[in-house]
Amino acid sequence: MKNKINNRKGFVFKPYEAPSQSPFEKLFDIFKELITHTSGDFDEAIDWLRELDKEYKLTTPEYSIDDFVEDLKAKGYIREEIKPDGKKGNAITAKTERAIRQSALDQIFGNIKRSGSGNHKSKGIGIGDEHTGDFRNYQFGDGLDKVSMTESLRNAQINHGISDFNLTEDDLVVEETTHKSQMSTVLMIDISHSMILYGEDRITPAKKVAMALAELITTRYPKDTLDILVFGNDAWPIKIKDLPYLNVGPYHTNTVAGLKLAMDLLRRKRNTNKQIFMITDGKPSCLRLPDGTYYKDSNGLNPYITNKCYAQAQQARKLHIPITTFMIAQDPYLMQFVEEFTHANQGKAFYTGLKGLGEMIFEDYETNRKKRIKG
C-alpha cells in the first residue's frame, strides 16, 4: 500500500536571519555613524573603526580595513587632498555627505508609519495633484488639463443625445484637487559649549536630526525651503552640506541673535507658511550690544537677556511665524523659561531627551505643514 503524501499549507517559524550584507556594506554602516561623531574627520573615523575591529572582529583575512578604504575611493566616497601641514590625506565627498543624510533620515524617521500618497495636503480645495473625486462646473480660467473628459462627454450624451452629439461649455466639468501649501522652515541649532558639557554628547543627535530633516524636505518636498543656522555668541547660516562637519565652540548661547537671523531669512521668502524650529539644551546667556561688545551671564536666568528673548518671540508672533522649541534639558528653571517664551510666541515646546527628538520634529513638521483654509 502506497503512503499518501498530504500537501499541507501553513506557516514555518524559524530564527530571524538578518539580510545578507557584503563586507563593505557592514563596515560602511558603521563608518557613516563614526564620521558623524568625528564631524567629518576621515582619519579619526578610520582610527576608531580599526579600534572597533580589534575588539569586535569586524573584518576577515579576506577583507581588511585597508580593503575597505580602497573601496571607498573606488566608489567615490572619499578623495585625496592636501592637508594644511602639506601631507596627503583623505576627505569625504559630496556622495558621502548625501549617504550620511540618508542614513540619518532612516534612523530617525524610519519608525514613522507610512501614510497615503500626497502628504502635506490641506483641508481646502485648490491647486494640487491629488484628486478628490468631486466635480464642479467648468469656470472661465480653468486649465484644459483639469477638465474631466470622461464626465464631460457623459454630460454631453445626457444633455444632447447620442444621435445628435454636441459638446458645449455647459457640459464641461472639472475634478477638484486638494490644495497643497508650501512651507518655509528655518532650523536653529545651538552650538554652545553646553552641547558637550559634562561628558554628554548632545550635538551629534542634534546634527542627525538636522540632516534627516534636510533630506526629508529636499527629497520629498522639493518646493519647500529649508534654511539652517547655528547660534553661539552670534548666529550665522550654514549649508546643508556643512552639517556633518558641525562642531560646538567655546560659546555662550545668544538665542536673540539666532531668532533675529531666522526672521530675517523668512522675511525674504514668498511662502505664506513660515516656521522656526529651535534645538537647544541651554538657557540664553549672551547678547551682543549695539557697541559690538557681548553681555554674558551664565549664572541662572538673567532678566535682561530673557526679556529680549520674549520680545523676539512676540515679534515672530506678529509676523505669523510660530516657533517650536525642542528643549533637551530637564532643569525646572529652564523649562519655566521655555514655557514663558512659548506663551509669548503662541508656538509649541517639547521637553525631551535625545531619543525621541527626531520623531517629534517630524510629527510637528507634518502638523505645521498643513494649511487650513476656511470656507
CA 35 to chain centre: 19
Reported as a single tens digit per residue, the pLDDT across 80-97 is 998 878 888 899 999 999
**What sign for the dihedral angle of Cα 133, 139, 143, 147?**
positive
For the CA atoms of 127, 133, 138, 140, what is the dihedral angle to 10 degrees?
A: 0
Distance separating alpha carbons of residues 306 and 256, to the nearest angstrom? 9
Rounded alpha-carbon distances, angstroms, from residue 56 to 45, 47, 49, 237: 16, 14, 10, 40
Q: Nearest Cα to 150, choosing from 132, 161, 135, 128?
A: 135
Give SS3 for 275: strand
What mean pLDDT value characterizes the chain?
84
Q: Specify the pLDDT at position 46.
A: 96
For the segment 171-217, what is each residue's pLDDT rounded down to a tens digit?
788 876 655 678 899 999 999 998 887 778 888 888 998 999 899 88
Query: What's the pTM value of the predicted model, to 2 decimals?
Result: 0.73
